[in-house]
Amino acid sequence: MFEKYYKQHLAKRLLGGRTTSDDAEKSFILKLKTECGYQFTSKIEGMFNDMRTSRDTMSAFRSHLEEQAKSGIVPMDAVAAAAPASATAQGAAAGTGGAAGAGDAGGVGAAAMPSGIGKILAGSLGGGVGGGVSGLLGGIDLSVQVLTTGSWPTPGGGTAPQCTLPPQLAAACERYKDFYLSSHNGRRLSWLTCMGSADLRATFGETGETKRELNVSTYQMCILLLFNDADTMSYKDIALATTIPADDLKRSLQSLACVKGRNVLRKEPMSKEVNDDDVFVFNDKFTSKLLKVKIGTVSAQRESEPEKHETRQRIEDDRKPQIEAAIVRIMKARRQLDHNGVVQEVTKQLSSRFSPNPTDIKKHLENLIEREFIERDRNDRKLYIYLA
């Protein structure tokens, strides 16, 4: 249980650039490995490896874009003309933010997490995480993290929600995808927009005298960029244009319209909850003492019962192969063993990680019998025999 929640928080720190010390993170992982064994931390260490590999891949991508620009294959302003920038839900576009994706290479998944910098309502912003690719991607500074499927916690147990990215961002993400897949045959990338972020430059006031940089999630970026073309939008119009899942959309709109000091949008009628018939208006009177305003996403106060059940179910799914592997190891060594003996041995072997339920052990014994790993003795039904 601890591992499952720890990985979720670690993923947010790594993808959001909020780790204060890599040495402190690695020191804690070392303590976990000492206490619980290598298997416990293998996927966590894989998360750090993905971050290092992603930095190298982004460096190669920048070099690739520069070479294309020098050779005249791709015009520098190929995408730049398109109105204001955007934040993504399947990649990263305007701003320093991103989205993650998942893919497969020979059974091993890979996920991509992009981020970018652009213009929200006026002006453009270069630089950022991407390290200077904004001029080569139409004003979008894209930074992508490729995440190995299985190592990272993904929403919905692996089925990541998707949303419609702004055209500029979608084009930048497609450029990265073409580059990545050209050198990684057999892999598959899918953008995890729910895990991305973006930096957007916004202009407020009738004359555009107030300029602020907004640090938002990919979902919030997609919402805000809609207001480049309209001052007022209904909830239903926003939902249709972005295809963001309803719960995430409502939390994102709450964060943008209902939090004092962060309300770059206004909601009509004004209330704490977002309803299907609400209307949202761009707040041109927004002011802040900060030049860079971070707008966090309102999170659910606590895990709901369905979410708790889903978490427990994922944990049980993770335990299944471990229980079966332990049974096979024991039976291979002992050749013959009665039911109670198997339960005691499996419980002893797995006690450092969790205490398996005897009912689950019996269920997995039946499964292994069906798959002909073991069989029951013909004279004693409680005695199991290993099949070589």
CA–CA dist 189, 259 (Å, integer): 35
Give the pLDDT of residue 305.
Answer: 67
Top pLDDT among 278 and 206 is at 278
Express each pLDDT in 333-357 by its tens digit: 888 889 999 999 999 988 877 888 8
pLDDT of residue 230: 85
Please name the amino acid found at residue 332: K
Considering the chain, what is the average pLDDT of its residues? 77
Checking if the pLDDT of 226 tops 80, the result is yes
- Give the lowest-confidence range in 170-179, 252-261, 294-303: 294-303
Residues 336 and 260 in one domain: no
Which pLDDT band holds residue 304 (cuts at 50, 70, 90)? low
299 is a domain residue = no
Binned at pLDDT 50, 70 and 90, residue 136 comes out as low
Of 233, 259, 294, which residue constitutes the final position of a domain?
294
Statement: residue 111 has pLDDT above 70: no
Same domain for 279 and 378, yes or no, is no
Domain endpoint, select from 246, 262, 294:
294
Q: Which domain holds residue 251?
A: 2-294
Q: Based on the domain organization, do 238 and 318 belong to the same domain?
A: no
Residue with the larger pLDDT of the pair 185 and 27: 27
pLDDT at 109 over 50: no
Tell me the mean pLDDT in the region 177-202: 86
Name the pLDDT band for 229 (thresholds 50, 70, 90): confident
The tens digit of pLDDT for each residue in 32-77 reads: 888 877 877 888 888 889 988 999 999 999 888 888 877 766 544 3
Burial of 145 (0-12, 13-18, 19+ CB in 10 A): buried
pLDDT at position 94: 33
pLDDT value for 283: 86
Question: Residue 100 has what pLDDT?
Answer: 38
Domain co-membership, 58 together with 10: yes
**Average pLDDT for 97-110:** 37
Asked if residue 252 lies in contact with residue 239, where contact means CB atoms within 8 angstroms, the answer is no
- In a shared domain, residues 64 and 165: yes
pLDDT of 89 strictly over 80: no
Say if CB 348 and CB 195 are below 8 A apart.
no
Domain count across the chain: 2
Do 103 and 221 lie in one domain? The reply is: yes
Return the axis-axis angle of helices 246-257 and 218-226, rounded to nearest 10°: 70
* 257 shares a domain with 162: yes
If pLDDT is split at 50, 70 and 90, which confidence band does 240 have?
A: very high
Residue 269 has pLDDT above 80, yes or no: yes
The sign of the dihedral angle between the CA atoms of 83, 253, 126, 16 is negative
Per-range mean pLDDT, top range of 18-22, 124-128, 248-252, 307-311: 248-252
Kind and range of the H or E element at 383? strand 383-386
Round to whole Å and give the CA distance between 29 and 134: 36
Q: Are residues 284 and 379 in the same domain?
A: no
Write the CATH number for 309.
1.10.10.10
117: pLDDT strictly greater than 50: no
Which of 159-168, 321-330, 363-372 comes out lowest in average pLDDT?
A: 159-168
Tens digit of pLDDT for each residue in 193-219?
888 888 888 888 777 678 888 888 889
276 and 310: one domain? no
* pLDDT top residue among 107 and 376: 376
Percentage, residues of the chain above pLDDT 90: 8
The share of the chain scoring above pLDDT 70, in percent, equals 78
pLDDT at 91: 31
Tokens read off for 233? 């939008």
Residue 267 is predicted with a pLDDT of 87
Q: Let me know if 381 is exposed, middle or buried by CB neighbors in 10 A (0-12, 13-18, 19+).
A: exposed
pLDDT in tens, 139-154: 788 888 898 888 888 7
Q: Which residues contact 63 (CB under 8 A, 6 or more apart)?
A: none
What pTM value is reported for the model? 0.68
